[in-house]
Amino acid sequence: MKIEQSKINKLGLISDFDPGSPIRRSLVDANLYSFGKKVHPGICVTFDRRTHGIDCQIPSTHPGLEFSWPTLGPFRKKLRGKNVALNLSQFSIYNGLETHTEIYNGETEHHRAIVVTNSYLESLFKEFDFNPKNVAFDDVVFNATSAMTSLTRDLFENRLVPNDFVFDCIVSSLLIEVFTKFPGTFSDKITRFGSQGRFPGAITKAKRLLMEMYPSQTLNLDELSKLSGMSKFQFIRSFKASTGQTPMRYLGELRMGLAKNKLVTTKQPICDLSLSLGFSDLSVFYRNFKAAVGVTPHVYRKMSLRA
């Protein structure tokens, strides 16, 4: 379907946060554009976009830091005045306030995106005097690291039953990865703070550790506080002040969020699932899950199949 570019240009900049904008709405109504938007309050917005045979260019601007990548063939964009084609192993990362244009050439395409909110960026980096509006990387196209591939896969696998604790851990880990690996406006400051052991901050570091180590059956508070570089008392106090939860309560919520998604999206036996989440005793997993969710894992899975 050829869309008259003049009709798009007259609309000016279209916010990716607004699937109801006229051009997007007309494409969705014609079953040519699937938006796949999910809002994860205070953290990010995720998009799972599919297009079917549209031929147009759609400019966009919005607050936040955007990650986008193709999952089916190259995905074309115009960024900083240049046309770029992202391959399957590449990401584009840029400040959403930079004008960026989606380019569609009549092919069937599928790409995904994450827009991290400015409020989340501010909370993550507040001790380092970062202004999210000024965040920019030296380049806009990057070869994916193994951590980026793994974290973004985890993020979309957990969209079906979203959990704030899961998304908090994944997104904070993703931001640490890109800010430490790719040069940009804050590289000098990050390098300096990193050499002083101050970046990432202790709580952000702890969240990354929780995401990496939740399968461990021996993970405990002493180990977490030591790896975060704080005394146990200081760690508990700082973590609760930042998240509203104690570290071990947060770990429990993280495991329950992951458990709900695995129960819905996989056929993994519950005994194996509990072991993969760090529970050595199936009865403990059943007891904790029922206390958190109100039903047993078995009943939860059956209920999700009926839904």
- For 7, other C-beta atoms within 10 Å of its C-beta total 12
pLDDT at 286: 96
Q: What is d(CA 122, CA 37) in angstroms, rounded to the nearest whole number?
A: 23
pLDDT at 15: 43
Helix 164-181 vs helix 187-195: crossing angle, to nearest 10: 100
Average pLDDT across each block of 10 residues of the chain; the chain has 307 residues. List them in order.
Answer: 41 42 62 76 90 81 94 89 92 94 84 93 80 91 95 89 89 93 89 83 88 87 86 92 91 94 93 94 95 95 82
Give the list of residues 6+ apart from residue 261 with CB closer than 8 angstroms, or none. 157, 158, 160, 161, 163, 166
Report the CATH number that the domain containing residue 138 is assigned in CATH.
Answer: 2.60.120.10
pLDDT at 200: 82
Q: Which of 118, 144, 170 is the last residue of a domain?
A: 144
Bridge partners of residue 49, in order along the sequence = 111
149 domain residue, yes or no: no
Asked whether the whole model's pTM tops 0.95, one would answer no
Amino acid sitting at position 76: R
120 domain residue, yes or no: yes
pLDDT at 305: 79
SS3 of 53-77: the string is CCEEEEEECCCCEEEEEEEECCEEE
Indicate whether 9 and 134 sit together in one domain. yes
Q: Which of 144, 171, 201 is the last residue of a domain?
A: 144
Q: Which of 119, 144, 169 is the last residue of a domain?
A: 144
- Which pair of structure tokens corresponds to residue 287? 């007891």
pLDDT at 21: 58
Indicate whether 140 and 255 sit together in one domain. no
pLDDT at 23: 60
160 domain residue, yes or no: no
Domain extent at residue 22: 5-144
